[in-house]
Chain A
Amino acid sequence: EAQVTQNPRYLITVTGKKLTVTCSQNMNHEYMSWYRQDPGLGLRQIYYSMNVEVTDKGDVPEGYKVSRKEKRNFPLILESPSPNQTSLYFCASTQGEGGYSTDTQYFGPGTRLTVL
């Protein structure tokens, strides 16, 4: 079954404690993205990756890091989480062929993060 998986689904942590949210897709997609979803602000893109070792900033990259060492995995790293990073996070992947892509973007189930 084609899917995007995220772990953990729920996480409560404290300010400053480094954490990683994993994302994996089994569709051999080139493009992957991370979003955060907040009430009144909608979904905002944090980082995206066009292929292995190729990443770029989205609209709200501050406080986040990503890596793309393998095609299937795109972890989101919070080196020093702060309360304003409390949010619902989604990973997504798209096939694409480079440049413009109108292919389906598949979203993971989401990770609800609370930073105390």
Chain B
Amino acid sequence: TQLLEQSPQFLSIQEGENLTVYCNSSSVFSSLQWYRQEPGEGPVLLVTVVTGGEVKKLKRLTFQFGDARKDSSLHITAAQPGDTGLYLCAGQDSGGYQKVTFGIGTKLQVIP
């Protein structure tokens, strides 16, 4: 079983601050996805990264896939209260098909 370590697990910051969430593994993934989950709802996909070193931006969110495809980071610039939620990274098994491993998640609270 591949493992994804996500850090930090909890983060409480003031509106306007920047933050970075990390997702690390000793295994190689064919792709890595970041999700956001609100209480009482299922996770919603934010981005998929596939190529080592790839950087994707989604408004104030910047996602990076490590060169070796074993780690990823999510950086939020000037966090807003609307960014509050649980952020999950998920790696797809390099063996193919749909075997997916999720990190524990980072619970982010942005205080107005």
What residues make up the interface of A, taking CB atoms closer than 8 Å to B?
A: 4, 31, 33, 35, 40-45, 48, 50, 56, 58-59, 90, 92, 94, 96, 99-102, 104-110
Contacts and interface: CB of A to CB of B under 8 A. Distances in A.
B30 interface: yes
B72 interface: no
Given A42-B88, A59-B1, A105-B33, A48 B98 contact: yes
B77 to A, nearest CB: 24
Nearest to A107: B42
Interface size class of B (residues with CB under 8 A): 20 to 34
A46 B1 CA distance: 13
A71 to B, nearest CB: 15
A27 to B, nearest CB: 14
A59 B43 contact: no
B99 A108 contact: no
A42 B42 contact: no
A47 to B, nearest CB: 10
Nearest to A60: B1
Contact of A41 (B48, B98, B104): B104
A59 B101 contact: yes
A96 B42 CA distance: 20
CB-CB nearest 7 A-B residue pairs: A107-B42, A43-B102, A42-B104, A48-B98, A31-B98, A102-B48, A102-B31
B82 interface: no
B50 A108 contact: no
Contact of B102 (A4, A42, A99): A42
Contacts of B50: 102
B48 A33 contact: no
Contacts of B99: 45, 48, 56, 58
B73 interface: no
Contacts of A105: 33, 45, 90, 100
Contact of A104 (B30, B45, B92): B45
Contact of A44 (B45, B92, B98, B102): B102
